[in-house]
Every structure is written in structure tokens, then in C-alpha cells.
Copies of this chain bind each other. A is one copy, B any other.
Amino acid sequence: MSAPALSTVRVGDELAPLTRTVSQEQINAYAEASGDFNPIHVDADFAVAVGLPGTIAHGLLEMGILAEALSRWAGSADRLMSLEVRFSKPLVAGGTITCTGRVVAVDEAEGIATLDVEAVSDRGERVLTNGRATVRLSG
């Protein structure tokens, strides 16, 4: 992955959209990593009983996919300085999430770009909204 040079980044530049299908296996792995075994994530019968269409991904797992889209654009994960999102709609296991972003400010003195970011599902639902990221640029 090659980082964009500070001098070439412009307001309006867009992230390459990153699309990922989130399997129940990934959700289980995230439950293991995070210790969050809430049954809405890992028990389909329970999820349906509480009115969900099925088990849903952890919000932080979705946010991790968004962070990956940013890291790819930035050239490495350690360039992602800050990240903010609103958890708007759930992503059902087996669903697909597409993360997008757009540069809204470039601070040339500090070498930092600010991006608006979001994620939508293949159901057309806005999963992560009001996203904002700051990224340290190279060069």
C-alpha cells in the first residue's frame, strides 16, 4: 500500500470503497477477541426472538472495517489518528458493508487530512453515519 503524499491530497478526494461480507464466523471471532458474547451477536434464535432479522455484527467490528478502508488509503494503520462514528443501523450476519470516505480538509502545516466517512449495507441501510477521521499524511 502506498500512502498519498501530502502535496497530492485534495479536498474532494475519495477513498476506494471497501466492501466486506461479514460472516457469522467473523462475528464469533470478534466475540472471542472482545469478550462480548451478547446473544444478539452469537445466538440466532435469541436475535430473532428480540425482533432482529438475525444475529448482528458488533458495532466495533463494523468500525474496524471502516478503519481498514482508511488504513489502505493512508498506507498503514498507524497513520489513522482518530476516528468517530455514529452506530445507526445494525448489520446482519452474512450481510455486506461498503465503507466510503471523502477528504473534507487538508492541514498542510500539520500534515493531516480530515475525511467524512460512512458505511452502508447491501440492504441499503446506513450502518455507520456521521463519521469523521483524521489521517497523518506522508511527505
Contact = CB atoms under 8 A, between A and B. Distances in A.
Interface of A: 20, 26-27, 29-30, 32-36, 38, 40, 58-61, 63-65, 67-68, 71, 76-78, 80-87, 130, 132
Given A81-B87, A83-B85, A29 B36 contact: no
Nearest to A22: B33
Contacts of A68: 34-36
Given A33-B30, A36-B77, A61-B33, A130 B82 contact: yes
Contacts of A76: 38
Nearest to A134: B86
Nearest to A41: B77
A55 to B, nearest CB: 13
Contact of A34 (B36, B61, B85): B61
Given A36-B71, A82-B84, 13 more contacts: A30-B30, A33-B64, A35-B68, A40-B78, A59-B77, A59-B80, A60-B64, A63-B63, A63-B83, A81-B86, A82-B85, A82-B86, A83-B85
